[in-house]
Structure 1
Amino acid sequence: MTYQINSNYLEKYASDYAGIVCDGYFSSKQYITGQDIIKLTSSTQVNFFVIKRLFELWQEELENLKSNPYFDYRDIAVHEALTQFMNVLSRRIKVEKEHLMPLIESAVQQAIILATDPVGYYQSEIEKAPVGKINEYLKENKKYYKWHDRVVSFLIDKAGFGHDKGEYLRAISANYQAVNDSLESENLLLATLGDVKAFNLDAYRQSDEQVIPASQPSTKEPSTEGSFFDQMDEVQPTSIQKEEVKVEERVEAELKESPAPVTSSFSSNGSGLNANALKSKFATESYPGMKGVIGELSDSLAINQRFMFTKELFDGNSDLLTHALKSIDECHNFNEAIQLVNARYVNELHWETETEPVQEFLLLVYRKFDGE
């Protein structure tokens, strides 16, 4: 799917976003390392697209060295020494503000394109793959795809695809149609950018001045062996990895689901959760083991809670959970927090509000603001 988009808005937004991030980070530091880039913003996809661009530059540097006609880079000793040198270099990422700015700008633009047009983005990745090495390219870059990765991940090591680029392009489009209903909402993905600067999806799609093709170029602790980029497979925004669900099973499960019951937890007009009803409920019930008021939600979840909320409430996307917790932490009271939950998550993610995961999540929110 290709959208008629406002290129001026996209470029201005990415520039403003990068400026805010860099001004904040470099107010007390002179440069940033690879490990710090991984957690630079609350949008995991933006962070990993910055790393992806550094990986591409790292590969280009290696190819430039090998292109020198005066030395034998096919010699085993030279190859081993060069590999060790490049691995050491990759673990010494050190980027100053003026060089990080364009990397973030490109990463933000690519993340927005991926969120709103996954078919176009992943088809552009196929177009960039070296001739005859599409599978190798996707396998090498899969660790950088954090949004809508199911659209393309099924193609990796898929028997029968060979080297036919057209077959890959058609397969991505067909697979998107099959998994579309189970993909994360573009609104929720783009909301993770809002911790830095709110993104206006209507403004982005409003103009018909220019169509930007998705093929526009994108731009654990460190180990002592291997490259920094090899470690990206091990890095997760949390300890929870997104659960793989077969499309057929997901569709069947959704068909069996009944509409969420309208109970006292909802407002009288059915528009969402009722903050006052929830406060009355939680104030009169006893919860063994609870310690009363808690601090930052983003730091207070037990491992089992983080797993349950990620799987049951946030469609397997731990990035969305992390963003939700931080957004709620910034609210001033329980009513404001419930308004936020209603606006962003209840309808968007089809929460059945009387289920145990939802009630436990709301209880934690209540405990944060207890005694307000």
Structure 2
Amino acid sequence: MTIQINSNYLEKYASEYASIVCERFFSNKKYITGQDIIKLTSSTQVNFFVIKRLFELWQEELAKLKSNPYFDYRDIAVHDALTQFMNVLSRRIKVEKDDLKPLVEAAVSQAVFLATDPVGYYQSEVSKAPDSKINDYLKENKKYYKWHDRAVSFLIDKAGFGHDKGEYLRAISANYQVVKDSLESENLLLATLGDVKAFNLDAYLEKENEPTFSAPETKPVQETSSSFFDQMEEEKPVERKVEEPKVEEPVYKEPVYAEPVSKPSNGADLNPSTLKSRFASQSYKGMKGVIGELSESLAINQRFMFTKELFDGNSDLLTHALKSIDDCRTFNEAIQLVNQRYVHELNWETDTEPVQEFLLLIYRKFDEV
């Protein structure tokens, strides 16, 4: 028995999602640049999968040039000139609406695949890598992996892993079983797509059985000598920074993987009445008055703290949470949403300072006593 994936739903959803995104962006612009793509949607993973595809097309173009039999591409002068040309080309990304839409569609499908089946996705990535360059492929592409990256990042530069794809595939599956409880839930990841169009997970996964998935079908920059794609590490927003698992040197008969990261939880729901009474009775110097939209009111240090301490380092989840709270009508409704989506899903220790500061901001937004 396997989970029945509704590929028709995913195809229709990805097409509608891409249409909405393109209509929004190109309402007053003729083309999109690489820098624009990085922040195209509130889902960082979708954005970076678009960039990943452009990187692949960039490499294909380079391979075509080098396949010409009439020129010596091994010559150092030719190599340096070609590298400089390709790097300049990468910093001149200009994509028009009709060409962007299929890129976004494919990126959405890949993001859903990764969120719902990280083992299947990363095994498909290993399968695409050249036999002799699996580590190089993962190392080159790790900058584009924003969700569930701990399922594969521990393999990069790991001594002892050679060219055997089977070893990589087995290691990914085994490591996932160890770290899966510390990864974000698929519901939270897919919720970041909701700012464009809500994703119905129940419509996509038609039966609840053992999961076995198949991969879906698939501003000017200052001149430097590097490519646009090399700069992705610097340009990316704040992401989840979890210490990578400490892996012993592989022993292939009995491999040893990382211990899971456990997160404390007091398991208690927040009580809106208790919170209102507490905040109303206390004086917060310098914090009086009503604030506007939470999604636009956080200070940089608050955004960093909440991302790191409350949302597993995932800025997409924080952004989506703030916008969802902004859509609430009352403090009680907002706290109910926080209980349902975040306290238990992310195992918040509700008495800690970051949680209390987050709740205080919600209280101040609704100005209730």
CA deviation map 1:2-21 (0-9, x unaligned): 74210001101111110111
Whether the 8 Å contact between 2:307 and 2:313 is mirrored in structure 1 is yes
SS of match in other structure, 2:205: helix
Quote the Cα distance in structure 2 between the aligned partners of 1:73 and 1:307: 47
For 2:136 and 2:65, the matched residues in 1 are separated by 22
Q: Which amino acid aligns with 1:297?
A: L
Q: Which residue of 2 aligns with 1:364?
A: 361
Distance 1:122 1:170 in 2: 11
Matched, 1:335 2:346: no
The answer to whether 1:307 aligns with 2:310 is: no
TM-score by length of 1: 0.89
What is aligned with 1:184? 184
Q: Among the aligned pairs, what percent are the same residue?
A: 77
> Which whole-Å deviations, capped at 9, do the CAs of 1:130-185 have from their partners, x for residues lacking one?
12000000000000000000000000000000111110000000110110111111
- TM-score normalised to structure 2 length: 0.89
Q: Is the 8 A contact 2:265 2:348 kept in 1?
A: no
Q: Match for 1:352 among 343, 349, 354?
A: 349
1:18-37 correspondence to structure 2 within 5 Å:
18-37=18-37
Structure 1 alignment gaps of length 5 or more = 263-271
Q: How does 1:124-273 map to 2 (within 5 A)?
A: 124-206=124-206, 213-216=213-216, 218=218, 222-225=221-224, 226-238=226-238, 242-244=241-243, 246=245, 247-248=258-259, 250-251=261-262, 254=263, 257=264, 259-260=266-267, 262=268, 272-273=269-270
What is the CA distance between 1:207 and its match in structure 2? Answer: 6.2
Shift of 1:217: 5.4
Moved more, 163-172 or 279-288: 279-288
Q: 1:7 to 1:140 in 2, by over 3 A?
A: same
My pick for the range that moved more, 71-80 or 14-23, is: 71-80
Gaps of 5+ in 2: 246-257
Residue 206 to residue 81, structure 1, CA distance change in 2 (3 Å): same
Match of 1:268 in 2: none
User: Whole-Å Cα distance in 2 between the matches of residues 24 and 369 of structure 1?
Assistant: 30
The alpha-carbon distance between structure 1 residues 234 and 144, as it changes in their structure 2 partners (threshold 3 A), is same
Indicate the RMSD between aligned Cα atoms, in angstroms: 2.3
Q: How far off its partner does 1:297 sit?
A: 2.0
Q: Which residue of 2 aligns with 1:326?
A: 323
Deviations 1:270-306 (A, max 9, x none): xx43333322321221112214222332333334323
Q: Aligned with 2:312: secondary structure?
A: coil
State whether residues 7 and 212 of structure 1, in contact with CA within 8 Å, keep that contact through their aligned partners in structure 2: no
Equivalent residue, structure 2, for 1:267: none
On the 8 A contact 1:5/1:212 being kept in 2, the answer is no
1:112-146 CA-to-partner distances (Å, cap 9, x unmatched) read: 00000000000000000012000000000000000
Contact kept? 1:298, 1:326, Cα under 8 Å: yes
Cα displacement string for residues 77-135 of structure 1 (whole angstroms, at most 9, x for unaligned residues): 11111111111111111111101000000000000000000000000000000120000
Cα distance, 1:259–1:328 mapped onto 2, change above 3 Å: closer
